Amino acid sequence: MAQINYTKEMTEKAIADYQAGMPVEDIAFALDKSVRSVRSKLVREGVYIAQEKSKSSEKGDAPSKKELLLDLEKVAPFEVDGFQGATKKAIDTLLNHFVEKSNNGT
């Protein structure tokens, strides 16, 4: 005989709690199940709505790292090949330093 993973009561409670706005993590804790298991059960029951993934960064109109390095190469008095691992913010700060320096005539 197959082992029942979720009883009818557990399933009904999970659905009711989820539809009431309880986080999946809290439902999993209450049922002594993993978050993944509860999420899968809610998906199978047709009630789970996937959360929209947040974007880690918005690119917008900001220049790419490659574009920043090309601009830096034009104004820096040294080779910029070693800066591929630098952050965009660091490259931009360095670029702004040299642009300001050249605009001030120093």
Judge whether 85 lies within some domain. Answer: yes
Q: Does residue 54 belong to any structural domain of this protein?
A: no
pTM for the predicted model, two decimal places: 0.49
In a shared domain, residues 40 and 69 = no
CA distances from 53 to 35, 43, 50, 56, 102 (A): 17, 17, 9, 9, 43
In a domain, 51, yes or no: no
* CA dihedral sign, ordered 74, 77, 81, 87: negative
Q: Helix axis angle, 35-44 relative to 24-31, nearest 10°? A: 110
Counted domains in the chain:
2
Give the domain extent around 72: 65-103
Going residue by residue through the chain (106 aa), what tens digit of pLDDT does each one get? 677 899 999 999 999 999 999 999 999 999 999 999 999 999 999 999 887 776 665 566 788 888 888 888 888 888 888 888 888 888 889 888 888 877 876 6
